[in-house]
Amino acid sequence: MRSGRLTDQQLRQKVLFIITAALVGASTGLVAASFRLSLHWAAQRRAAAQHWAHGHGAAGLVLLMLGCGLAAGVAAALVRWVEPHAEGSGIPRIEAIVDGRTALGRARILPVKFVGGVLSIGAGLALGREGPSVQMGGSVAGCFSRAFRLPDAATRTLVAAGAAAGLATAFNAPLAGAVFVLEELVRRFEHRSALATLTASASGFAVSHLLVHGYEFHVAAPAVPRLVQAPSVVLVGLLCGLVGLVHNRGMLAGLAWADRSRLPRELRAAAVGIAVGLLGWWAPVLVGGGEELTGRALAGQGTLLLVLGTLVLRLVLGIVSYAALTPGGLFAPMLVLGSELGVVVGLAGQAVLPAVTAPPASLALVGFAAFFAATVRAPVTGLVLATEMTGVATLLPPMLGACAVAMLVSTVLRNEPIYDMLAARAAHAARLNEARSVREASAAAARA
C-alpha cells in the first residue's frame, strides 16, 4: 500500500465527518436564517415605533428612547448574567477555539447570542448580524461535537465549518463564508478543513435559501473605471487604509472606556440605546446595521456633505455601539463605511477633477472591499464578499488594486487586524481575571 492512500476505515471516518459537517451547516443555516428573519421583524417594529412616536409629540419620543434603551439594557444583562462569552462579535472567540487557545464553551451561548442580538440590533445599535451568525454556527458545531463525542482536533475543524455556514447565511455568500474561515480563522489550506468548510457553507446556504434568498444588494451594473481614472481607485484604497486605522483604534478605545467605567454594563448599554432611539427618531436610516445606507451608496446616491456627515456619524456610532458589549458584529457597519468612503471620493473628485474620477457607484463597491481589507486584513474575503453580495464581478481588478493599497497603508501604519486586536484584549482581560481570582483566594485563605 502506498503511503498517503487512505485505508477503508480512514475513508469511512472522513466520509462520516463530512456528513457531520453537512448536518452542522444545514442546522446553522436554519438558525442563522431564523436570526435574519427575526432581525427583519425587529427592524419593522422599530420603524413602526418611530412612526408612532412622530405622531405623539414629546411623549412619543420619550417612550421610543426608553424602549430602545430597555432592549439594549436587557441584551447586556443577558450577556452579563447568563453567558459572558456571548458579548460582542464572537468571531475572536471562535478563532481562539479553532486555534486551540480556549475551550468550546457552553451550549447556552446560542440562545443568548440569538436573543441578545435581536434586542441590540433591533434597538438600532450600529452592529451587524454576521458576528452572531458565525458564533452561533460554532455553537451548533459544538453541540454536534458533544453529541458524537468527537476528539479535540475534529471539534476545532467542525467549529470552523459551522462558522463558515454562519457567515454564508448571514450575507447569502457561501463562497465568502468558506474563504473567510480559511483566510482568517484557519489560516492554512488543509484538505480536511477545506472540505468540511466548503461542505458546511454550501449546505447552510442551501437550507437558508428556503427562507431568505437573492443578492443582499441589487446593484445596477456599474461602469468599469478606465485607466485614466485609476488615481481615484488608488485614493479610495489610501483613505480606506487611513480610516481603517481610526476605526480599529477607536474600537479599542471605546472598549477601554467601557472597561474603566464604573456604571453597570446594563446601564451603559441602556444609555447607548436611549441615544440611538433619539437618533432614530430624527433620522431612522442612520441606525441599525446600515444595509439601507450601503445600498444607497452602491447606487451612488447622496450629496458630498450628506455622505461625509453620514460617514463620520456612523464611524462614531459604530464605536459607541460596540462598546455597549451587547451581541453584535462588525462586518455590516464596516461595509457602510467603506462604501460611503468610495462615494465621498467619487463625488469630490467629479467636482474637482471629473476626467480622472470614476463614478461614485463604482468607487462605492471598490471601497466596500478595500475597507474590509484594511480593517480585517482578509482581502480575498473582501473581494469575494463584495462580488457575492452584489452579483457584480466586473470591478474585480480595481477592487483588487484598492485592497492592495489599503493593506499597504495599514501595514505601514502598523494597524493590526481588528479581530487580532480584539482577541488580544480578551486574552489580557482573562489574565487579569485569573490574577484577581488568585489574589482573592489567597486573601480568603489568609483570613481562614
pLDDT digits (tens, 9 = 90+) for 156-195: 999 999 999 999 999 999 999 999 999 988 888 788 889 9
Kindly state whether residues 121 and 193 are assigned to the same domain: yes
Kindly state whether residues 278 and 395 are assigned to the same domain: yes
pLDDT given for residue 228 in this prediction: 95
Residue 161 and residue 263: Cα distance in Å, rounded? Answer: 38
Kindly state whether residues 196 and 232 are assigned to the same domain: no
CATH number of the domain where residue 82 is located:
1.10.3080.10
192 part of a folded domain: yes
222 part of a folded domain: no
Domain count, the chain: 2
Region of residue 329 (phi > 0: left; psi between -120 and 50: alpha; otherwise: beta): beta
**What whole-number percentage of the chain has pLDDT above 90?**
84
Provide the β-strand partners of residue 327.
88
Residue 444 has pLDDT above 80, yes or no: no
Kindly state whether residues 327 and 409 are assigned to the same domain: yes
Kindly state whether residues 201 and 65 are assigned to the same domain: yes
411 part of a folded domain: yes
137 part of a folded domain: yes
Kindly state whether residues 122 and 243 are assigned to the same domain: no
Kindly state whether residues 254 and 192 are assigned to the same domain: no
Residue 359 has pLDDT above 50, yes or no: yes
Kindly state whether residues 203 and 303 are assigned to the same domain: no
Specify the range with the lowest mean pLDDT, choosing from 5-9, 62-66, 110-114, 371-375. Answer: 5-9
Range of the domain at 269: 228-426
pLDDT digits (tens, 9 = 90+) for 59-77: 999 999 999 999 999 999 9
Q: What is the mean pLDDT of residues 141-150?
A: 95
DSSP 330-366: SHHHHHHHHHHHHHHHHHHHHHH-GGG---HHHHHHH
Kindly state whether residues 251 and 370 are assigned to the same domain: yes
pLDDT digits (tens, 9 = 90+) for 196-239: 999 999 999 999 988 887 767 888 878 899 999 999 999 999 99
pTM as predicted: 0.93
Kindly state whether residues 184 and 307 are assigned to the same domain: no
440 part of a folded domain: no
Q: Report whether 375 contacts 349 (CB < 8 A).
A: no
441 part of a folded domain: no
Kindly state whether residues 117 and 239 are assigned to the same domain: no
75 part of a folded domain: yes
Kindly state whether residues 232 and 315 are assigned to the same domain: yes
Report which secondary-structure segment, H or E, holds 298: helix 291-298
Mean pLDDT of the chain: 93
82 part of a folded domain: yes
